[in-house]
Structure 1
């Protein structure tokens, strides 16, 4: 290794430690180096997401992906827009969420004789996706839905639904009161939550 290469590595290490300490002090978190130097809002702007949207550097984005205003896309996510993906405004897409618009199942099982399958995905406004949730191709999710952690969504979900499981099933609804309070009303599996 050349002397100038070694110096560059030492400089990067110094930068990493400086940024790590600054982020730890300000937000009490430690991030991978690429997240320390990347700007989530700049990446969203580069991808032509709407105003105020942000996406972590570790996220994989390909194809035609449209994201609405003030939507947060967490780290280690997959946004597959091969067949078109639309995500509304004020959504929270947690760590590890994967949203697919294509599938190679039949192609693989047929030894390449069948074609890949495609279907666009549309997600409404004000939706929350728990960590590691997966959305399959061809799905539409209405406004103000809660998709539970590790759930697999393979069919359309009407607005104001709470879904959990593999496959995801409706287990409750999101209710907005006249005073603007948000209530999670579970029809099965959990106690009802207090107003938010």
Structure 2
């Protein structure tokens, strides 16, 4: 099979899958998300039963995820700096970035200081709103709601509702 024939087959597959998904769910996706099974990818990463993760998501280092957690498209899960743990029954919305390291001191020192690392943890039954950024070393308790576009720099206690830049607790979830 030539490269042109293979490309034609791929285009036909894409058009067919795009039509099926749009008809069934009224959505369009990046090419790989039509082909890659989200639940299979989660299983291959060792995530809990019933968890799904879009192919457009990036996963680095030691990342552990519990059962029945939904990880949306275009997310970044960085477990390279000491491990990232996400509990069960969570929703990690589109565009969320979760870190376990930063290079601020290294950059300011001209490369002399080390990369700073710390494990990050999100409890169970949490909702993390779209485009939220969670910094290294943060612990988010169980049953927490984090509003969209938040910058989480400090721990958030269980049962809280929090949002903002920087993120702050505004009430009970």
TM-score (norm 1): 0.86
Match of 1:129 in 2: 128
Could you say which residue in structure 2 is the equivalent of 1:172? 171
User: What runs of 5+ residues in structure 2 fail to find an aligned partner?
Assistant: none
CA drift of 1:32 comes to: 1.0
- Alignment correspondent of 1:63: 61
Q: Greater relative contact order: 1 or 2 (C-alpha under 8 angstroms, separation 6 or more)?
A: 2
Aligned residue for 1:189? none
Alignment of 1:15-94 (within 5 A): 15-82=13-80, 83-94=82-93
Q: Could you list the per-position Cα deviations for residues 111-154 of structure 1 after superposition, in whole angstroms to 9, with x for gaps in the alignment?
A: 00111000001111000011000100111110000111010001
1:7 to 5, 9, 14: 5
3-state SS of paired residue (2:2): helix
What is the RMSD of the two structures over their aligned residues, measured on CA atoms?
0.8
Deviations 1:152-175 (A, max 9, x none): 00111000111111110111111x
Larger-Rg structure: 1
Number of positions where the alignment pairs a residue of Structure 1 with one of Structure 2: 172
Instruction: Return the alpha-carbon distance in structure 1 between the equivalents of residues 23 and 149 of structure 2.
Output: 31
Structure 1 alignment gaps of length 5 or more = 175-196
**Deviating 4+ runs (over 3 angstroms):** none
2-structure distance, mates of 1:96, 1:148: 13
3-state SS in 1 of match to 2:169: strand
Q: How far apart are the structure 1 equivalents of 2:133 and 2:151?
A: 5
| Partner secondary structure for residue 56 of structure 2 | coil
**Which residue does the alignment assign to 1:182?**
none
TM-score normalised by the chain length of structure 2: 0.98
1-structure distance, mates of 2:139, 2:64: 14
| Alignment partner, residue 113 of structure 1 | 112
